[in-house]
Structure 1
Amino acid sequence: MTILVTGATGTVGRQVVRHLLERGAKVRALTRDPGRAVLPYGVEAVGGDLTDAAGLEGAFDGVTAVHLINFGVGYRPLANGRDIVALAERAGVAKATVLGGWQEGTLEPAVTASGLEWTLLRPTQFMANFLNDWGESLRTTGRVREPYGDRQSPPVDEYDIGAVAAAVLTQDGHGGRSYHLTGPEVLTARRMVAIIAEATGRDLRFEELTPDEVRREWSVPDRRPQLALFRAFAEIEGADETDLVESLLRVYGTPSEFATRLTGDVEQVVGRPPRTFAQWAADNARHFLPTGPR
């Protein structure tokens, strides 16, 4: 049984590959540049880009299950979901997981309307996002300067997302389900910085900006933090700087019910509680040290 993993070298894709190998599955990894892809021993690398369905046909040969992501470069939702699903069905793929992105595209409705045994994976905030969002600032200044320090979310470890995907792809009983994947606790941004401080042994602090301070500072690219959310909005919406800053203020100031609700879906699928933010911070503490990876 060969399982195709798209986005195999990405934050979540690497974890999907890891967990599938641990389950004894034969894994094929789709990547835009297979010659440069760093993959575990035994993984078959094939070239392809989800935004170009015409070049994907060979990737599905002999595949029985596939892990799909609903976005291409820059988090932009795929516009060719029906073509991708048609290729999978023609190749005889039986099962598919779909990892959602910032917004739904054409892939989810195409999959749910197909004959595939599908499962949608809808994670909340990735813990890994904080490596890009806060890493540079904490390494160099020991501070995170953002608005709404008491905003809440139940961030999920990418390790757990990969574990859920691998379980669904190798087990029965998950067809037609949509899993909202969260960590085990709802945390404020301020508390997460404190947890990273505990993991690193450093004096790290959250400094809250007012909305007006955000408007002044984040409208200047050189003074804006490297927020994954900002980059996603920039790619998806094509808005100007002012619109993007206002969009981010709305997201941070009025989070949706989906973004803050805690679920037990990870434990339901994998049979253990999801990893805590403290565990993730301890594993990644080196990224928040002054001499840490950049």
Structure 2
Amino acid sequence: MAILVTGSTGTIGMQVLNHLAGHDVEVRALTRSPGNAQFPAGITPVRGDLADLESVRAALEGVNTLFLLVPNVADELTQAMLTLTAAREAGVKGIVYLSVLKGEAYADVPHFAGKYTVERMIEALDLPATILRPAYFIQNDVRLKDPLSKFGVYGMPIGGKGVSMVDIRDIGEAAAIELLRRERAPAPLGRETYALVGPDSLTGTSIAAIWSEALGRAISYGGDDLVTMESRLKATMPAWHALDLRLMIGRYQSDGAVASADDIARLTKLLGRAPRSYRDFAKDAAAQWLKG
């Protein structure tokens, strides 16, 4: 039997595959273009698309364990629910679902509300699943290199309430640990839920201070202007997606997304070490940027 990884060519999917490689289990990666995919050694590309249910059904043949990552698309909820239905009908014995931190609380943020609905489906049908709830990805801030380096500004308007940002490598490792545990179990395991978070409560001002230290120059926080952020995002994505992300950042500003001590302790136990910090990420990124 095998593990099937969806979202395999994306940032998180590749992290999951990297952490699964070399563990003496069959791993398949769902992709629309198997011939173009570049995966770690031993990973088998499988043609499929979560928007094409029949391709999902075909890809699930012979699969024991599923990593379900659904991209932020307009029909994300439908894709997730139908894929779970197909997995259930195919006899999949273990699921690891990538949800989001604060999904139950941010009811006005479409992709948060959708992911929490999927969690409710998992609970209602008593599916053998691990639900992973990541906070904002630390590596999203790689895209802020130019304003940081050229203008001395940290431009993500996350506000002052605090966000426990998570390193994508910790997401991939946590997912792989749970996929392997479920794949190797002789029978389906009970449900588990983990918050995937970093060790620090980060604000716009505190992150600017971290970058000041890492880059050796004064970095200021660009402020809480959400309208400008949405306008900027619309240049590279559909308007609905830009608004969805603006609503998310707006809730960060008004409510924050801070992990509890128990959240951090549970993740530390799962990983066997403390989660990675934003400061370490910034230090490494700054060193790479300075090298050109």
Shift of 1:24: 3.1
Corresponding letter in the other structure for 1:281: A
Q: Note the C-alpha offset of 1:237.
A: 5.7
Cα distance, 1:204–1:129 mapped onto 2, change above 3 Å: farther
After TM superposition, the score normalised by the length of structure 2 is: 0.79
The normalised TM-score by structure 1 is 0.78
1:150 to 152, 160, 173: 160
Aligned partners of 1:137, 1:75: CA distance in 2, in Å?
30
| Amino acid across the alignment from 1:127 | I
User: What does the per-residue CA deviation read over 1:126-164, in whole Å, with 9 as the maximum and x for residues that have no partner?
Assistant: 1111122x2232233232245565341111111111111
Aligned residue for 1:241? none
Equivalent position of 1:235 in the other structure: 241
1:109–1:47: structure 2 CA closer, same or farther, 3 Å change rule? farther
1:66-124 deviations in Å (ceiling 9; x for gaps): 1002x335476331434312321232210001001541435433333346411111111
Which residue matches 1:254?
A: 254
Asked whether 1:207 is paired with 2:221, we answer yes
Report % sequence identity: 32
| Equivalent pair of 2:133/2:196 in contact (CA under 8 Å) | yes
SS of 2:87's partner is helix
User: Is the contact between residue 9 and residue 31 of structure 2 (CA under 8 Å) also seen in structure 1?
Assistant: yes
**In the aligned structure 2, how far is the partner of 1:27 from the partner of 1:143?**
42
d(CA) in 1 for partners of 2:275 and 2:162? 18
* C-alpha deviation, 1:31, in angstroms: 1.7
User: Which residue pairs with 2:210 in the alignment?
Assistant: 195
Does the Cα contact within 8 Å between 1:72 and 1:78 map onto a contact in 2?
no
Cα 1:116–1:145, aligned 2, differ >3 Å: closer, same or farther? closer
Matched, 1:36 2:61: no
**Structure 1 residue 232 displacement after superposition:** 8.9
Residue 282 in 1 paired to residue 283 in 2?
A: yes
Question: Residues 194 and 288 of structure 1: is their aligned pair in 2 closer, same or farther, counting only changes over 3 Å?
Answer: farther
**Counterpart in 2 of 1:83?**
82
Which has more helix, going by share of residues? 2
DSSP 3-state at the match of 1:186: coil
Long gaps (5+) in structure 1: 239-243
Partner of residue 112, structure 2: 103
Counterpart for residue 267 of structure 1 = 268
Structure 1 equivalent of residue 93 of structure 2: 94
Give the partner amino acid of 2:221. E
Distance in 1, matches of 2:277 and 2:128, equals 31
Segments of structure 2 that go 5 or more residues without pairing to the other structure are 101-110
**In structure 1, distance between residues paired with 2:229 and 2:151:** 17
Asked if structure 1 preserves the Cα contact closer than 8 Å seen for 2:159 and 2:224, the reply is no
Are 2:163 and 2:252, in contact at CA under 8 Å, matched by a contact in 1?
Answer: no
Contact 2:48 2:55 in 1 (8 A): yes
Q: 1:166 aligns with which of 157, 172, 176?
A: 176
Report if aligned partners of 1:131, 1:287 keep a CA contact under 8 Å in 2. no
CA displacement 1:154-183 (0-9 Å, x = unmatched): 111111111111111122596312211111
